[in-house]
Structures are given as C-alpha cells and as structure tokens.
Amino acid sequence: MSRIISLTNQKGGVGKTTTSVNLAVSFAVSEVKTLLIDLDPQSNATTGIEELTDEPKGSIYDAIIRGSATKDVITKTKLDHLDIITSTSDLVGAEVELVSLMAREHQLEKVLKPVRKKYDYILIDCPPSLGLLTLNALTCSDSVIIPIQCEYYALEGLGQLLNTVRLVQKNLNPNLEIEGVLLTMYDGRLNLSKQVAEEVRSFFEDKIFTTVINRNVRLSEAPSFGKPALLYDANSTGAQNYMTLVEEILSDGN
C-alpha cells in the first residue's frame, strides 16, 4: 500500500510546488513508483514537468467533479517510475462544486482508492488555501509536509494550518501525521535565514527535516523550461538537496 503525502501551506511562495515536483522526480529516479497529483488550480506542478509528459488525457477536475475513471486521467511521464494527474484552470470552480456533494471531503479519497496499490508514494500539491480541495487532500493522506521559507513572517498563519490538521485528525482522518516541516530558500550567508531556521526548529522541535533546501538559481530557473531541477541541472545544489530529502524520507519510512 502506498504512502500518500500532502504538501501544504496556505501561504504562497514558500516552495510548495517546487518541493512537490522535485520530490516526485527524485523519488522516481530512485526507482520508487510515484504518482504526483496537481491539486492547485494554478497548475504549476503540471507546467513544471510538461517537458516530461505527453498531452494529458484528463485532469484531477475530471476525476473529482466529472466522475472520470482514475486510470483515464493518469498521464505517464518519460520517467519509468513517475505518473502525474494534471490540473487545469477548471479546478477553480471545484471548491464551489464540492459543497453540494455528499461526503464532499472524501472525493479525492474515492478517486485514489482504485490506484493506490500501484504506487509506493502519492504526492499531492495542494492549493495555497485551506479550502475544500486541501481538506480533501488531508482527509486521504497518511501525512503532510509543510514547506516554510526562511524569510520574515515564516511562521505567520501556521497556527491556522496546524489547527486545520488537528480538526482533520479529530473528525475526518485520525491517522494523519506531520511527516515533517521543510525549510526552503535557506541562505547560510544571511543572519535572517539562520534566525528563522532557529525559530522554526524551536517551534516544531523533532518535526523538522534535517535536510534544508538552499536558495538556488538553477532551482528557480528549472520550471520555466518545463523541467525539474534534477533534469535541468543534476549537479545544482537544489537538485542535490531534494535527493538528500528523499533519502531522509525513505530511511525514516523503513
């Protein structure tokens, strides 16, 4: 049975999609069978690896709202161990359309059930909000990764996110865990980065990943070429950081 991990933070610009894409690809090149789900209407995870994919057959919106079969919306990539369910701008309306559905928080869970056994890891790139799409992701997930950027106001709004996680644990998914908090955009030359890292570590203690994602130009450039960092520049600091993160997650899972 696969492990489902949501990547979420209602703040935008924290490296959530960058982490989703690069983590998925790093798993895949490590020969870990992975499904990436783009649950964000902005579709950045979809465009972030568009050089690796053929024309998508369908989208996550088709599966959740239109009732398309899950197997019919999975798009293969050029990596043997990576598939993706893409997003489109149609997903903007899904928050409203989900409201009227029975068991509305469990729609994504129903979508994933037929294919869950096919994968080792399923990664969900959540939208930067705590609406029904994110609730669907948390309800079907085993754990959540929270990316936090090493900049001012890093902890702003996190209380709300943690409260949402607790409510999901209490009412919808008692098995949900925090996989880890990931420090992103870290610059060891800046006192600010060091201060934020210390603040986050004191707040979350043992829930912080040892691996940090360093601020890296190649990592920022890669999405504009439709490629993950590992295939854009495998020797870049960002690509190596995500490979290290995969090793840390896999070692913790064993």
Does the pLDDT at position 253 exceed 70?
Answer: no
Contact 50, 226 (CB under 8 A): yes
Read off the pLDDT of each residue in 174-187 and give the average, rounded to a whole number. Answer: 94
Contacts of 205 (CB under 8 A, 6+ apart): none
pLDDT-based confidence at residue 180 (cuts at 50, 70, 90): very high
Return the CATH number at 36: 3.40.50.300
How do residues 26-67 score in pLDDT, each as one tens digit? 999 999 999 999 999 999 999 999 999 988 889 999 999 999
User: According to the model, what pLDDT value does residue 190 have?
Assistant: 87
**Rounded distance between C-alpha atoms, residue 254 and residue 251, angstroms:** 5
Kindly report the pTM of this predicted structure.
Answer: 0.95
Given a cut of 60, whether residue 254 has pLDDT beyond it is: no
pLDDT at 1 over 80: no
13-26 pLDDT per residue, tens: 898 999 999 999 99
Of 7, 6, 10, 11, the residue nearest 151 (C-alpha): 11
The order of strands in the sheet holding 121-125 is 75-76, 82-85, 34-38, 121-125, 3-7, 143-149, 177-184
Q: What pLDDT, in 10s, does the model give residues 108-143? A: 999 999 999 999 999 999 999 889 999 999 999 999
CB of 20 within 8 A of CB of 123?
A: yes
- Domain count for the chain: 1
pLDDT of residue 12: 83
Of the pLDDT bands very low, low, confident and very high (cuts 50, 70, 90), residue 151 is confident
Measuring CA to CA, which residue among 91, 34, 15, 81 is closest to residue 58?
91
Rounded average pLDDT over 4-10: 95
Distance of CA 156 to the CA centre of its chain: 20
Give residue for tokens 């690809």.
25
**Domain housing 58:** 3-253
Tens of pLDDT, residue by residue over 55-101, are 888 999 999 999 999 999 999 999 999 999 999 999 998 988 998 88
What gap in Å lies between CA 200 and CA 203, rounded to an integer? 5
**Cα distance between residue 40 and residue 207, in whole Å:** 25
* Cβ–Cβ under 8 Å, residues 191 and 215: no
CB 105 within 8 A of CB 132: yes
